[in-house]
Structure 1
Amino acid sequence: MIVKMKFLTITGPKDDLDRMMDEYLSRYEIHLENALSELKTVRDLQPFNEANPYRELLAQAKSMVELLDGSLDRPEGSISMEEAVELIKQLNWQLEEKNSHRSDVTAKLGEVREKQKKLEPFRSLSFDTSRLQGFRFVKHRYGSIAKTYFREFEKYVYDDLETVFFKCKEDSETVWGIYFVPASEADRVDAIYASMHFERIHLSGDLQGSPDEYWSRLDEQEKELAAQETAISRSIAGELKNRRKELLLAVEKLEKLSENFEVRRLAACTREHHEMFYILCGWMSEKDAAAFKEETESDENVYCVTEDVDRSVDSPPPTKLKNSRLVRPFEMFTRMYGLPAYNELDPTLFIALTYALIFGAMFGDAGQGLLLAVGGFLLYRFKKLQLAAIVGYAGIFSTIFGFLYGSLFGFEDILPALWLRPASSEAMVNLPFVGKMNTIFVVTIVFGMALNLLVMVFHIINSLKAKETGDTWFDHNGFAGLVFYGAAVTVIILFMTGHSLPGGIVLALMFGVPLLLIALKEPLTNRLLKKKAETKNSAVMFVVQTFFELFEVLLSYFSNTLSFIRIGAFAVSHAAMMEVVMMLSGAESGSPNWIVVVFGNLLVCAMEGLIVGIQVLRLEYYELFSRFYKGTGRDFKSYTHPRSKHLSKEELS
């Protein structure tokens, strides 16, 4: 179901915004809208143009928390904004010297590691490369080149160029090396190398000895600086240990204050009698809106106005779904198609019931269904995957239909069929003018007709809620389509069951009038709404266009109905595939090869289960959803988000 919404406008003194949000708004879920866009009729509105004063303090506080050892669970208690700000400033002042020393060490450590990174590819050079600096008539360059360009360089350029390239290291993509060139030709050769995407690497001027020897000295410096950095960090952590609880509370407080401050980009401010006021706009659930309004009524600095959904606003209400825990996993399918608009029906319960039911009918096996159910729910229990829960529900219905079909891991002689066996000759039934047809095909077509009638009712409800008169009465999925399709279904069922057909007048009224209304949907809608037609086509063009549109509608009714035959087809094919498995295992002789039985069941369960799952979703989306559901809603996004009590390293970064 879709949670009912209220539109809130909250205002008060500009300097009181942080307090209002901290004391009241932070405890509720609200989808904020841009106040400047929503309140276009209000004069003298201005945006907030203030920098976040908590961002830097929060970064400093998080850097301190990163130095703490052990669990980072938030302790019980609270701290005020003033106390949090003062604590971080005080700790920064106390640790200023050590932090400065650590910053210097960290900077030096970064420089050493950067030198090591540059020098690493050239460690294979075994001579004293510093002697190259004294060459007057020969220049040298360190660098790298992509392997693809290096091959072209070797094949087409290298032999005709006055240079010597010495390869030092290579991997699957890059070649590192050093090249030598006469000083008189350096500019020309450098340009040619650059054209081949040679990237120069400038090694430091203090390079002494061989690159490997210099790299080893840098490695010793790196270890020494890293040890210094660790020692300083431990010293700082030791001093922070006594203020651990206050520091964690301060981080939580500053996070909330910083998050609240970011709301200013959606707020507006206005001046009234030389005093500045803020204005916030957003959507809340009816329950939260009533509680928030009641809580702030006694606060003279907070003024709140709630309005109903049908107010004239540019932005439609966001959609917040609220379904029971049993149905909630199927919200994934709803969101994949598109969230319902606020005034649409939520199809989650519908898809939950029909998806599991159709899956079970197409994949009816008590044993394999039980495996799907147990595996799906176990995976959902430990991994919280919504799709796993859907598989679990589908497995339950597969098990139920397995008993109805009398199928257990493909064995047809263990369980009695409570209804019928899809692939047996006993499942056939005689129909007038059709002849013999599998009963399950007949049942699935009737089931599809019933679903089509139901979704047409959903379409009418959605159209009435959206106040779309033409779609309500004259659309092929509206009232006219419901009457026509319902009459057609009734006539077919009466005919197939041997009952006499209704009279010609009834047929004309039930078939002809609805089709005429569907054909004249546009002019009838314009007349009801007293609107003038935008374009005027000739009578001949109108008749031709209407004829083909009506033909397409009739064709869609026919193809949509026949599409549900796939339910029975997959039920029969599943039984046939398991018959093949039983035959290959030698089950007919009474002593089956159990390895073949187990492997065959796993293969069929995995392969056909995936195919059936996709086919059921196709039926839901293309045959059912397309008749009544648009999915044009936008998600309800609260500016506040529930936080866990554990402060993770990701939150600190």
Structure 2
Amino acid sequence: MVEKMKLLHITGPKYDIDRVMEQYLSRYEIHFENAASGFGISGHVRPFAETNIYKDACTKAQALWEHLKDEPGGAADYAMPVKMEPAEAEKVVEAAYRLTDEIVKRQEEMRKERMENQSLMDQIAPFRRLDYEFKKILEFQFIAFRFGRIAREHYQKLERYIHDTDHVLFYECDSDEAYVWGGYFVPRVYAKEVDAVCLSFHFERIYIPDSFDGTPESAYQEALQKKQAYDEEEQKLKKQLHDTLEKHAGKITGACAALEHYCNNFDVRKFAVCTTPGRKPGEQTEYYILYGWMSADDARKLEKETAEDSKIHVMEEDVEEHMSVSPPTKLKNPALFKPFEMFVEMYGLPAYQEMDPTIFIALTYTLMFGIMFGDVGQGLCLLIGGFVFYRIRHMNLGAILSLAGIWSTVFGFMYGSVFGFEDILKPVWMRPMDNIMTTLMLAIGFGMFLILAAMVLNIINAVRAKDVGRILFSPSGVAGILCYGCAVLCIVLYAFEKPVPATGILAVFVGVPLIAILLKEPLTNLLERKKKLFPEGESKAMFFVESLVELFDVVLSYATNSISFVRVGAFALSHAGMMGVVLTLAGYESGSPNWIVVVLGNIVVTGLEGLVVGIQVLRLEYYEMFSRFYQGTGKPFVAFSGNRK
């Protein structure tokens, strides 16, 4: 269900906002609206713009906390922080920073040196095969040299050019799938000409630093040793920093928690505005104004708590009085159905006045899953596996899988199937493969019932939204129920060989609702007593043409939506068929089956078909049912306290 909301108008002296937030509002879930956008605010107002005075200290405290967590298990020892005021917390953070200032500075210097050393390694790594001292190359007077890389797609062109030129030498040093690294040597008198040609081949020049002696390999090994030394020093500094902070861990964690708490509370100002009401002569006290949504229960508790506090004024306003403001949606369902809120949120949250379909999807989803995947053994595996997955990973999908496994087990008894074996249990109802047409027809009939149920839910939602046209004349309204329901009744009577109503009766109960659907817009305008019945800027002829096309689509959707449920029966047959194939491959009919094949087959079928069935059931929920009664245009309830880390 969608929890009932109240719009709260909260005001008080500007200087008192932190106390109010700390003492009252931080203990409740409240969805703040931006008061600057205005909900009937009058007088002189301005945004409550202030720099967060706790932000810098909070950032520093979080950095210190990260240092404490660097050691394995470091954070677990300080899970219960010492409670303190913000001024004391800031002093603790500053004191800790002074203690660790030199260590942190050395860490920053070391990181810079390490980056420079890594850059040097990256530059010379491709040229390690060059067994010649770079310093001597740099001293060449008559020979120009260029080191770099060239893409493999252009390297063959460079090779042909060097082969045809007798004054260029290319030395290949390294290569991979994309590039070839090396350098070319050329007399200086030809350098410009050769540089231009190589540039046209996309030769990318790399400038080798002259800051080291020896060969590239020796320089690389020297840089590698420095890297190892930096790694060792980094670990020592990290441990030294952790040991220094560990002596004051309780205070630091307390300061981090306190500053983060006050920093988050301070941010409430971005939702507020300030005003000077001048309630008394000469009074210049500024007041803040906050607007926020709370659940009706929390709103009553807050009003009761603040009744005796003269510095805060809370006024409760009903949603109906402010329908121009879209209330946020907060779902509240029993624990058993709560995991299915995930499917609702995937489609879109219900609007505040709209019905929450969580319980509906929970019941229909698990029921259809069980019908399509009826097997006692595999159902119990889904039940246990989903439960364990939910307990370990706390994911809603595990709970959904476990509940679906219950219905799979139930329909396994109905079908008499245990891990695909159909000679262990006697079916309580029937075996799908023995009654193929009955299974498919019952699936379509079940789908028709669900479609009619969705139409009833649509009428309920339309009544809540006070949409007369949707209630009476929509394809899923009263007209739709009369038309579709009459068609379903005729099919049922025909199937049971009962007399079908006369043609005149059918014309009334099918034709009249279809005409009402065709003329939905003018009929709605007539009931709402609007001057113009037909849409403006459109001829009546064009209106009727478009309406007829839409009516044809409506009738077609009735048929296609109903037939779409045949997959419920088809998958029940498919499951039995796939397990039959597994048992045949295992040689079950011979009397001595290969149990390895049986086990592996059950695993494959459970995983593959379980995934496909889960997706297909969700498709039926969204396209065949949700599309008839549910819009999902609500905005989520975002509690201000929920923004905290």
1:257 corresponding residue in structure 2: 262
1:400 corresponding residue in structure 2: 410
1:46 corresponding residue in structure 2: 46
Q: Structure 2 counterpart of 1:568, which letter? A: G
Structure 2 Cα separation of the partners of residues 583 and 633 of structure 1: 52
User: How far apart are 1:197 and its partner, in Å?
Assistant: 5.2
Structure 1 Cα separation of the partners of residues 589 and 236 of structure 2: 76
User: How far apart are 1:516 and its partner, in Å?
Assistant: 2.2
Q: 1:636 to 1:539 in 2, by over 3 A?
A: closer
Contact 1:168 1:176 in 2 (8 A): yes
Q: Structure 2 counterpart of 1:79, which letter? A: M
1:3 corresponding residue in structure 2: 3
Structure 2 Cα separation of the partners of residues 326 and 158 of structure 1: 78
Q: Give the secondary-structure state (helix, strand or coil) at the position aligned to 2:265.
A: helix
User: How far apart are 1:319 and its partner, in Å?
Assistant: 1.9
2:141 corresponding residue in structure 1: 136
User: How far apart are 1:245 and its partner, in Å?
Assistant: 0.2
Structure 1 Cα separation of the partners of residues 609 and 79 of structure 2: 49
1:483 corresponding residue in structure 2: 482
Q: Give the secondary-structure state (helix, strand or coil) at the position aligned to 1:491.
A: helix
1:285-296 aligned within 5 A: 285-296=295-306
1:104-119 aligned within 5 A: 104-119=109-124
2:641 corresponding residue in structure 1: 640
Structure 1 Cα separation of the partners of residues 601 and 634 of structure 2: 44
Report Cα offsets for 1:483-518 as digits up to 9, x if no partner.
222233233333433443445664444223322211
Q: Structure 1 counterpart of 2:63, which letter? A: S
1:71 corresponding residue in structure 2: 74
Q: Structure 2 counterpart of 1:515, which letter? A: L
Segments of structure 1 that go 5 or more residues without pairing to the other structure are 429-437, 644-650
2:365 corresponding residue in structure 1: 355
Structure 1 Cα separation of the partners of residues 244 and 18 of structure 2: 32
Aligned with residue 166 of structure 1, among 171, 176, 192: 171
1:413 corresponding residue in structure 2: 423
Q: 1:415 to 1:12 in 2, by over 3 A?
A: same
2:338 corresponding residue in structure 1: 328
Contact 2:162 2:168 in 1 (8 A): no
User: How far apart are 1:31 and its partner, in Å?
Assistant: 2.4
Q: Structure 1 counterpart of 2:446, which letter? A: F
Aligned with residue 383 of structure 1, among 381, 390, 393: 393
Structure 1 Cα separation of the partners of residues 438 and 3 of structure 2: 43
Overall identity of the aligned pairs, in %: 45
Q: Give the secondary-structure state (helix, strand or coil) at the position aligned to 1:640.
A: helix
Structure 2 Cα separation of the partners of residues 631 and 271 of structure 1: 41
Report Cα offsets for 1:265-321 as digits up to 9, x if no partner.
444334555544443333222222332333334444433333222343655222222
Structure 2 Cα separation of the partners of residues 625 and 130 of structure 1: 76
Q: Structure 1 counterpart of 2:416, which letter? A: G
RMSD: 3.1
Structure 2 Cα separation of the partners of residues 295 and 189 of structure 1: 86
1:647 corresponding residue in structure 2: none
1:36 counterpart = 2:36: yes
2:520 corresponding residue in structure 1: 521
Q: 1:301 to 1:269 in 2, by over 3 A?
A: same
Segments of structure 2 that go 5 or more residues without pairing to the other structure are 279-283
1:434 corresponding residue in structure 2: none
Structure 2 Cα separation of the partners of residues 62 and 290 of structure 1: 36
Structure 1 Cα separation of the partners of residues 167 and 320 of structure 2: 81
Q: Structure 1 counterpart of 2:384, which letter? A: V
2:529 corresponding residue in structure 1: 530
The count of residues paired between Structure 1 and Structure 2 equals 633
Q: Give the secondary-structure state (helix, strand or coil) at the position aligned to 1:67.
A: helix
Structure 2 Cα separation of the partners of residues 149 and 49 of structure 1: 60
1:435 corresponding residue in structure 2: none
1:568 corresponding residue in structure 2: 569
User: How far apart are 1:325 and its partner, in Å?
Assistant: 2.4
Q: 1:278 to 1:140 in 2, by over 3 A?
A: farther
Q: Give the secondary-structure state (helix, strand or coil) at the position aligned to 1:320.
A: coil
1:206 corresponding residue in structure 2: 211
User: How far apart are 1:78 and its partner, in Å?
Assistant: 0.7
User: How far apart are 1:99 and its partner, in Å?
Assistant: 3.8
Q: Give the secondary-structure state (helix, strand or coil) at the position aligned to 2:262.
A: helix
TM-score of the superposition, structure 2-length normalised? Answer: 0.88
Structure 1 Cα separation of the partners of residues 115 and 194 of structure 2: 34
Q: Structure 1 counterpart of 2:509, which letter? A: M
Contact 1:463 1:471 in 2 (8 A): yes
1:554-593 aligned within 5 A: 554-593=555-594
Q: Give the secondary-structure state (helix, strand or coil) at the position aligned to 2:322.
A: coil
User: How far apart are 1:152 and its partner, in Å?
Assistant: 5.7
Contact 1:484 1:511 in 2 (8 A): yes
Contact 2:13 2:311 in 1 (8 A): yes
Aligned with residue 283 of structure 1, among 268, 281, 293: 293
Contact 2:134 2:210 in 1 (8 A): no
Contact 1:269 1:278 in 2 (8 A): yes
Structure 2 Cα separation of the partners of residues 347 and 214 of structure 1: 69
User: How far apart are 1:529 and its partner, in Å?
Assistant: 1.9
Q: Give the secondary-structure state (helix, strand or coil) at the position aligned to 2:580.
A: helix
1:304 corresponding residue in structure 2: 314
Contact 1:17 1:278 in 2 (8 A): yes
Contact 1:162 1:189 in 2 (8 A): no
Q: 1:209 to 1:44 in 2, by over 3 A?
A: farther
Q: Structure 2 counterpart of 1:90, which letter? A: A
2:281 corresponding residue in structure 1: none
Report Cα offsets for 1:371-423 as digits up to 9, x if no partner.
22222222222222322322222222121111111122222222111111112
1:123 counterpart = 2:128: yes
1:648 corresponding residue in structure 2: none
